Structures are given as C-alpha cells and as structure tokens.
Amino acid sequence: MQRYDVLIVGGGPAGAAVARDVAAAGFSVAILERDQAVGRPVQCSGLVTERTLVTASILPDVAHNELRGASIFSPSGSRYEIGGDRVHAYVMDRGDFDRRMMKHALESNVELHVDTRVVRIWYESDEVRLIAEHGGKEVSFATKLVIGADGPRSIVADFLELPPPVEILRARGADVRLPNRPSIDRVLIFLGERYAAGFFAWAIPLGEDRYRVGWGTSRPGPGNGLEHLAADYPHIFDGMEILSQTGGLIPLGPRPRTSGIYGMVVGDAAGQAKATSGGGLYTALTCAKHCATVAIDALTNHDTSATRLANYDAKWRSHIGKELARATALRQSFRELSDPEIEWGLRMLRIPGMTHLVNRYGDIDYPSILAKAALRTAPPLWRLTHGRRSVMTVFDDDDVPMVHPVGD
C-alpha cells in the first residue's frame, strides 16, 4: 500500500498544475497516469492564447504557429474573414506543452506513476483507497484526498457521485499534409450539418504544409466530416495526406457540483471546457489554481469534509463560472440552429463595422464579451437564441462592455 497526502488521477496539464502547487506547499503528492507516457496520445487542437501560456508558466516557443485571424465558411460555402494584424492565438505542440507542465510538477517532488489505470476507488479507515492496474498487476494506493483530472469519463467523479456535465460532444481529428496549401496565419472554420452536426469543423495551420483538422458532433450527422470537407473544398484539401488520427469526448457545461467529501475534480473531469468552442486549457488551468488552494487548506486543517472542499466550487465559479455559464447558454442555442439560420447569422458580418467589432472584442478565452457586444449592436441576432431565457438571463448584466451601434 503506497500512501500520499494527495493522489491525482490523470497526468494532463490540469492534474500536473494541481500537483505542482500542492507539492510545493510541502505535501506528498503522486499522479496516476493511465497512458504509458505524458503527452501521448494528443487529443487537442492546441489552439491557445498568450494568456493560457502565461497561466501555465510556459514560454511561447512551444508554439508551431501564430494566428491572426480566421476564415469562416458557411454551410453554402460563402467565406467570411475576421481578424487583423495582432496575434489572437498560438498553435502549440500539445505534447510538448504537457511534458513541460509535468516537468514543473516533478521539480516540486511530485511522483509520477505512468501506465497506471485506476479501476476502483472507495473509502475505508479514514482514508481513500485506490486499486490501479500496472503491468498486468494490481497496485494499491491510499490517500487523504483524491483529485480527478481524468477526463470526461472520470472515475473520481463517479466515486464522489457528482452529477454529469450538461453535454458530451464527440470529436475527431487528424494531422494532415496539404501539399498545395502552404501554411497561413489563419484558422479555417467550417459550419454546416454536413461537416459537424450541431458544432463546427476546423483546419489549423501548424507550419509549412501541415494542418490539424478536426470536427465535433452533438447528434448523428451524414457521415465523416473530413471526407465531406475534402469533397466540397478541393482547393483547400487537394492532395491531402493523413498523418495520424485521434478521437475523444469533450464535456460541455460544467458539472453542477465538482467536489464532495474526500475529493474534487478539475478540467474535463469537471466539465470546465468552454461550451462555445470545446477549448479547455485556459479554464482548466484557472480552476486548477483554486483546486490546489483548497486542497492545501483542507490538508493543513486536517479536514476533507464536503463542506470545506465546497470552497473549491465557490472559488472557481466566482472567478470564471459566469463566463462558462454564458458559453453554455450560447451553446444550447447554437446547437439548435439550422443551416439557413447559420447562413443568416453570418450575413450579419456584412453590416458595416461588424467585422471591426469582431476583431476588437474577439477573445477565445472570453467569447461572451464579443457575444454581448454583437447582440447589443445587432439586435436581430437575438432571433438565433430561439427566445431562450437562459441566454437572456446570463447576459442581463453590465460587466460586458457596451459598444456603439454600427450601421444605420
């Protein structure tokens, strides 16, 4: 039986960040990672802001490319350009990012157990017990506090009997070579039922002729999004060579509760990704700081009760909960849009000054800033919310900037 003050299930960035901070406070911490190595396989688009890199204490040299805008393709193939001269996002080497995060944790004396898949968790004799499979054998662990950073199918969340996230999105992706399309500084976004039912598809330039293509679906669609993209946009995907493929689940809309007696969950395990885009690194790292703070407090006071650990819920929701609630409300409206409604909404970008508004307020970490500015500037856009009270309620405040109307 191996004993630690804290056991973290999952060795991604959120788990590594929590482990680093708790270990730096003087507690014994171990990470149990089911894969054979940190940073593989990669199941992430790798698109982040500078804010994310700063939060992670990672230098921008982890980036493949800098992006200054986006080309958006409507369901009918109409093209809309947004962005400008400034860098809006970085395309990073996600595997390298994960390994650097883990290096920081190991430098704080965190112990890492790879190829260690937790199969059972229970409470016994004033401690949490875990059984994991490693090398074909069972290994036993015990801890005062367990933290789940183990993704949407979190065994820790099941142990804590936490309610599920609002929605689970199925995503697929592929790294490809596009020999006839040199790298650019814009992400390509494709909308329409044919490519990504209820969500969107993307092609992110990695540098030279390599791209990361992906698509998500929330309901049954007409088939493989990549095949349809290649067929409908031959000027982009002509000669495509698929280098690797991945797939996974993205939880959208946080769990109503992310802590319980003896434990907490963070990142995808908590459903803390942005529901508008599925991106979750910035939000996960932000919540990881609060998770570590509450863990340190609980261990210092020898109190891992549900009441004390509920401070984690209060802290992260106070920091970023409103933004995630807005994203969830927008997501619930977007998933119901028909292709003609998407076409109509994109035509709003033709209103004089609207593109300038998007370029000024667009922020992939805080999409509600742009959403509220756009809804105030072009009130007809409210039609796309289908009259949802959830959207009206979460945007009924004054902490998102008002802008001057554009057009007549």
Residue 401 pLDDT: 42
Three-state DSSP state, 113? strand
* Same-domain status, 182 and 266: no
Domain encompassing residue 357: 331-394
Rounded to the nearest 10°, the torsion over CA 329, 335, 339, 342 is: 20
* Same-domain status, 148 and 285: yes
Find the helix or strand (DSSP H, E) in which 293 lies: helix 281-300
* Structural tokens at position 14: 């959120």
Residue 110 pLDDT: 97
**Given the structure tokens 């033709």, which residue do they identify?**
350
Exposed/middle/buried for 308, CB within 10 Å: 0-12, 13-18, 19+? middle
Q: What is the mean pLDDT of each run of 10 residues along the chain (408 residues)?
A: 96 96 98 89 78 89 87 94 84 90 96 96 94 94 97 96 94 91 87 92 91 86 80 93 90 96 97 92 96 98 97 97 91 89 90 83 85 79 67 56 35
Residue 357 pLDDT: 84
Residue 389 pLDDT: 58
* Same-domain status, 297 and 338: no
Question: pTM value?
Answer: 0.91
Residue 391 pLDDT: 63
The distance between the two most distant Cα atoms of the chain, rounded to a whole number of Å, is 72
The CATH number given to whatever domain includes residue 56 is: 3.30.9.10
Residue 407 domain flag: no
Cα four-point dihedral sign 59, 200, 321, 397: positive
* Same-domain status, 243 and 117: no
* Same-domain status, 112 and 76: no
Q: Write the single-letter amino acid at 109.
A: N
Residue 358 domain flag: yes
Residue 72 near residue 82, CB atoms below 8 Å: yes
Q: In three state form, how does the secondary structure of 53-110 look? A: HHHHCCCHHHEEEEECEEEEECCCCCEEEEECCCCCEEEECHHHHHHHHHHHHHHCCC
**Of 321, 341, 376, which residue constitutes the final position of a domain?**
321
Residue 400 domain flag: no
In degrees, rounded to 5, the angle at the alpha carbon of residue 103 between the alpha carbons of residues 303 and 271 is 55
Residue 376 pLDDT: 79
* Same-domain status, 235 and 382: no
**Given the structure tokens 């698929």, which residue do they identify?**
242
Residue 148 near residue 18, CB atoms below 8 Å: no
* Same-domain status, 103 and 149: yes
Residue 137 domain flag: yes
* Same-domain status, 100 and 204: no
* Same-domain status, 32 and 108: yes
* Same-domain status, 86 and 223: yes
**Of 321, 347, 371, which residue constitutes the final position of a domain?**
321
* Same-domain status, 72 and 180: yes
Residue 403 domain flag: no
Closest C-alpha among 284, 281, 286, 276 to residue 370: 276
Closest C-alpha among 100, 109, 145 to residue 292: 145
For the chain, the distance separating the N- and C-terminal CA atoms, rounded to the nearest angstrom, is 72
Q: How many domains are contained in the chain?
A: 3
φ/ψ of 306, rounded to 5, equals: -60, -35
Residue 71 domain flag: yes
The CATH number given to whatever domain includes residue 280 is: 3.50.50.60
Residue 80 domain flag: yes
* Same-domain status, 355 and 285: no
Residue 399 domain flag: no
**Of 198, 225, 251, which residue constitutes the final position of a domain?**
251
